[in-house]
A and B are shown apart, each in its own frame.
Chain A
């Protein structure tokens, strides 16, 4: 966990500095706090916490911070594939429309990632987008994205 905390600490320092630099575009304090007041205070706090995190993890017994959760290659691969399918689905929804985009997203997860090759999986793949379109589009009147096919 110590190594992870060092990464988090270093990231916080960099993030804090960048946020501080970006917040310089806004007035810090006029007669009262300006729009840059809170961003600059928070950016400073993030950088300081990052430094403290680095300092506390570098000094003292490295074992007292516990063990980092083990991450297997297969686990990373599975999470990445699920995340990839979801991201692809979100990219496709405005292009192909909500119904087809969501159909492909669910199909990608159930038939692709989970390799469910049975009737319940196929029915779920088709029914889920149909129900969502009916519920949100028809009943609740949400204007769902329509793509190149016009639906």
Chain B
């Protein structure tokens, strides 16, 4: 009840006309700037920070919430429309959203991402409001062994993302793992596979890899025919631009699952929105009835990771606000902003400055609603980009991709990386090697390696530490079952082919 009263206080501070104006401005700026590839939420918040710190702490924080949600959401827009994942957590949106756009369903795809973001954002902020202290305590029990087994569970999803050939999927995943080891080793500081190139010391840039594999490779495929292949079916009527009732019916359960998973993974420092989006996508792939549609525009495959992405936002606020631990790059930038306002996130924040602390939470609610109000009407505007002929569109896409990649670290090296991965992605498509396992392993690989090595330091090299808690045992069992599931499935198929009865009694 205390939480509810405090929230009401926060809402009253955040619901003044001036506060609403700033949250709206923040969400609009976050959405527009977030559309530019390479600028994920941390980049957008950092860019707009000087603007928000000119305001009073209350309005500044409210505006930042708008920026945060706007930037989080808009990464998926370019992924759906142009196959450019604006941010690493928008890769699943490119995998499922872009094929939907090609089928003339860009509007429903963007609509479902907006609705998923809203639903997940709202539920997760409610969870944040009432369960923050309890959940923070739970998250503290997660050590390196739990992290490693969780990452294993995420990596086991490679099996599901492999498409027709599991061997090729595994090959891509191992290549992703190997690429992730390039750069300075976190534990020892030793450079790996850098060959004296200082640009490689920080590793290969993730944005450059994803933009190369998805956006640039897609262009190479599409320009094979003069005038471009017929890439998009362009929606004409307004009704075609919004999700149908059937779309919502098929997505709501995925949204809820994505919300739960995203919120849980968001709480864990280091796991982040990208891991949440990927694990949620692969989980959905695992349990969905329409598995055949995955990779070809499955709306539930789009709803789940988008919900996870949004829910992880609120989840990541828990360690930040209750313990002062920024679990991701975005929350690290937010922490910097809070310190600029003279706030010190941590256990004392809610005791010493409850008005501002609850204003932050209230602004998350409002930011979420504003995002929905702002973005649903904008869908036809965004979708109208697809009316441009492809031979006009692709020079724009390539220019935007290259400058977007450059803007992350301001170095041409990343542009070359994107281009090289564009060629690699093109060849992978021609050779039938899926890109998603490579990207998944590239994201989760470093986290898995680091947590395994930490766990083994803790146990003096004994692998038994991986079974020290029920969490890690459950994750391990889940990973093993996921890896073995295709074998079971094949066995079941061959048994039924030989005339043994199926579960429903028919031969």
Q: Chain A: residues with CB nearer than 8 A to chain B? A: 1, 4-5, 7-8, 12, 19, 22-23, 26-27, 31-39, 42-43, 45-46, 49-50, 52-53, 56, 66, 69, 71, 74-76, 78-79, 82-83, 86-87, 89-90, 93-94, 98, 102, 105-106, 109-110, 113-114, 116, 120-121, 124, 128-129, 132, 135-136, 140-145
Contact = CB atoms under 8 A, between A and B. Distances in A.
A56 B167 contact: yes
A94 B468 CA distance: 54
B201 interface: no
Interface string B207-242: 000000000100111011111000000000000000
A52 B398 CA distance: 37
Nearest to B455: A32
B185 A4 contact: no
Contacts of A106: 395, 399
Given A33-B453, A34-B188, A143-B410, A46 B395 contact: no
B493 interface: no
Contact of A32 (B33, B39, B415, B457): B457
B68 to A, nearest CB: 17
Contacts of A76: 224
B167 A38 contact: no
Given A35-B187, A128-B396, A94 B171 contact: no
Main SS class of interface, B: helix
B407 A114 contact: no
Given A42-B178, A53-B168, A142-B406, A110 B392 contact: yes
B264 interface: no
B34 to A, nearest CB: 12
Contact of A142 (B167, B219, B394, B407): B407
Interface in B185-206: 185, 187-188, 190, 192-193
A90 B391 CA distance: 20
Contacts of A94: 412
A63 to B, nearest CB: 15
Contacts of B461: 31-32
B212 to A, nearest CB: 11
Given A49-B167, A79-B224, A90-B419, 15 more contacts: A4-B430, A4-B431, A5-B431, A33-B456, A35-B185, A38-B449, A42-B174, A45-B170, A46-B175, A53-B168, A86-B402, A89-B402, A128-B396, A140-B33, A140-B407
Contact of B220 (A22, A83, A109): A83
Given A56-B167, A102-B399, A116-B391, A38 B220 contact: no
A12 B415 CA distance: 26
B47 interface: yes
B177 interface: yes
B426 A79 contact: yes
Given A79-B426, A114-B391, A4 B167 contact: no
A106 B416 CA distance: 17
A52 B167 contact: yes
A109 B394 contact: yes
A102 B407 contact: no
Contacts of A42: 174-175, 177-178, 181
Contact of B188 (A35, A53, A136): A35
A121 B395 CA distance: 11
A5 B407 CA distance: 37
B192 A39 contact: yes
B407 A136 contact: yes
B18 interface: no
A147 B348 CA distance: 52
Nearest to B429: A69
A87 B419 contact: yes
A53 B419 contact: no
A86 B419 contact: yes
A78 B226 contact: yes
B432 A4 contact: yes
B473 interface: no
Given A31-B461, A38-B445, A136-B407, A90 B402 contact: yes
Interface string B385-399: 000000110111011
B471 interface: no
A78 B223 contact: yes
A106 B398 CA distance: 9
A78 B224 contact: yes
A17 to B, nearest CB: 13
A84 B296 CA distance: 30
21 contacts: A5-B432, A8-B431, A8-B433, A26-B190, A32-B461, A33-B456, A35-B187, A45-B174, A49-B167, A50-B171, A66-B164, A75-B224, A76-B224, A87-B419, A105-B395, A109-B398, A132-B399, A140-B33, A144-B403, A145-B406, A145-B412
Interface in B396-427: 396, 398-400, 402-403, 406-407, 410, 412, 415-416, 419, 422-423, 426
Contact of B178 (A8, A19, A78, A132): A19
B430 A69 contact: yes
A32 B423 contact: no
Contacts of B164: 66
A89 to B, nearest CB: 8
A4 B167 CA distance: 14
B136 interface: no
Contact of A53 (B167, B178, B190, B221): B167
B460 interface: yes
